[in-house]
Amino acid sequence: MKVIFLRFTAVLFVLVGTSCSKSFFDIDDNGGSFVINNVKDVQRELDNVYKVFGSSNFYGRNVIAIGDMASDNAIAKSSNSSLLKFNRYSFKDSDGDLLAIWIAGYRLVSQATNIIYGIERIESGVTGPDKVLLDNLHAQALGLRALSNFTLVNIFGYSYSEETKSGLGLVLLRNEASDISGRASIETTYSFIEKDLDEADELFKNIDVKFSGLEFNALAIKTLKARVLMFKHDYEGVIKITAEIMDSNLDLIGNGSTYYDMWGSVSLSTEDVFVIAKDFQSYSSSLNSLYTINKVELSSSLKALFGENDYRTKVLAYEEQDMWNPAKFRGTLESTRDYNIPVFRLSEVYLLSAEAKARIGNSSAIDDLFEVAKRNDDLTLGNIPTAKDSLLKFIAEENRREFYQEGHRLYDMRRTGEIMSDRLDLNMGEFDAQKFVYPIPLIEIQASKIKQNDWLSGMPNNN
């Protein structure tokens, strides 16, 4: 008998507690709540997975917003802001937005797992061009499942380290219909993620498909793998993979006007590895409205990091407003709701490579870093420090400059152990984000009896 965790009606996306509802984690022998008979079925169901991924409950808002709002990057000025609780660390284990992430994440993982299981059932009977398409869809499903698991474990589990890897990770959904016995370790969770990425990478190696940044493509698989290895502190692995990506046909944008225009267009730029297309987003309380209507501004420490002629400042404020409100998701001239959400950009690849090289003493770290940092027109290669600690500090600051409003900061701080010392805007004092973990939603604990995180001990002023 399987453990029943989240019980909900899929149509209404609401949790219920009746015993007659289907287990959210159940994987039936026929491939789940839908039956896959052909490649067209796979494509249809994968589109549904992309919609869950891009929803405001997951990567279309909450996951990205928390990455900045719970860090030292942003300040919520409106008392009505739905992000205020994350900015002030005043949330509870019954919080609705954390519950929404949990539900959407596991819904996505469950649907992707059902697709993977369905593909394995039909693939022996598929040949020719249909087999190429099926392998492409299979790799995408594996990538989406890996990124969703990676996202969940970095919100509801501690960041990976020798000290934490034996701690509580995720409940893992596998391809076979097997009993679910509780939370795996963080190390086992990461191994499961890497297995999915390795399998997806192998599938892409054996097929010839046109690159599209609108889907989880081969370079996106490699970029996620590089990010995962960075979180595992496998710097040699990061260097190897990022070199392959930087050798691709993608190019960093090299001038301010093109960079600014990139954020006001739904066309793919030359540095987009993978984006959430506007068609796969939900617009309820979108990133656009959260950062403007709710008066979210850059923190004083982040403002101070930008040089006078850093052209990225142009997308950090609406020109008609005299305030530091972020404008990356301002939309197009036709509609403020039309924008892509970048999941992976080539600039991340360069900064991953730079950090990995800096940590092992490889002098070419500075060259990779400068490719991104020269978006400050006043910066020269000679301005970049060479001493290891100073260089790593510069790279961390460059990540803040480059990825504000894209949700990297909190997860980077948890990974590196950087102390959040500049929360003076909120009078919160120092905060060690590496000791912090979000609570598993209370309703899940009550329903499934899985072990709760020790989340209160890591809150600000408690660590």
**What's the whole-number mean pLDDT along residues 450-457?**
95
Mind spelling out the 3-state secondary structure of 103-118?
HHHHHHHHHHHHHHHH
**In degrees to the nearest 10, what's the CA dihedral of 215, 46, 243, 261?**
20
Supply the pLDDT for residue 323.
52
Among the listed residues 299, 222, 310, 188, the one whose alpha carbon sits nearest the alpha carbon of residue 259? 310
pLDDT in tens, 163-186: 999 999 999 988 654 446 689 999
Q: What is the CATH number of the domain that holds 200?
A: 1.25.40.390
Q: Does residue 310 lie within any of the structural domains?
A: yes
Q: Does residue 462 lie within any of the structural domains?
A: no
Which of 24-33, 336-345, 403-412 shows the lowest mean pLDDT across its residues? Answer: 24-33
Average pLDDT, the chain: 87
Q: What is the DSSP letter of 310?
A: B
Among the listed residues 455, 412, 415, 435, the one whose alpha carbon sits nearest the alpha carbon of residue 72? 412
Residue 32 has pLDDT above 90, yes or no: no
Supply the pLDDT for residue 423.
61
Q: Does residue 463 lie within any of the structural domains?
A: no
Supply the pLDDT for residue 286.
74
Residue 121 has pLDDT above 50, yes or no: yes
Q: With contact defined as beta carbons under 8 Å apart, do 285 and 96 qualify?
A: no
Residues of the domain holding 358: 8-280+288-454
Supply the pLDDT for residue 3.
37
Q: How confident is the model at residue 52 (pLDDT cuts 50, 70, 90)?
A: very high
Of the chain, the percentage scoring pLDDT greater than 90 comes to: 69
Supply the pLDDT for residue 87.
87
Q: Does residue 401 lie within any of the structural domains?
A: yes
Q: Does residue 1 lie within any of the structural domains?
A: no
DSSP H helices, 54-185, are 62-69, 84-87, 96-122, 128-156
Q: Does residue 168 lie within any of the structural domains?
A: yes
Q: Does residue 423 lie within any of the structural domains?
A: yes
**What's the whole-number mean pLDDT along residues 89-101?**
94
| Most confident of the following: 7-11, 55-59, 293-297 | 55-59
CA distance 12 to 291: 27
Q: Across the strands, what pairs with 8? A: 15
Q: With contact defined as beta carbons under 8 Å apart, do 219 and 211 qualify?
A: yes
Q: Does residue 3 lie within any of the structural domains?
A: no
Q: How confident is the model at residue 193 (pLDDT cuts 50, 70, 90)?
A: very high
Q: What is the DSSP string of 183-198?
A: PPBHHHHHHHHHHHHH
Q: What is the DSSP letter of 314?
A: G
Total count of domains within the chain: 1
Enter the tokens of residue 93.
Answer: 């284990």
Please tell me the pTM assigned to this model. Answer: 0.92
SS3 167: coil
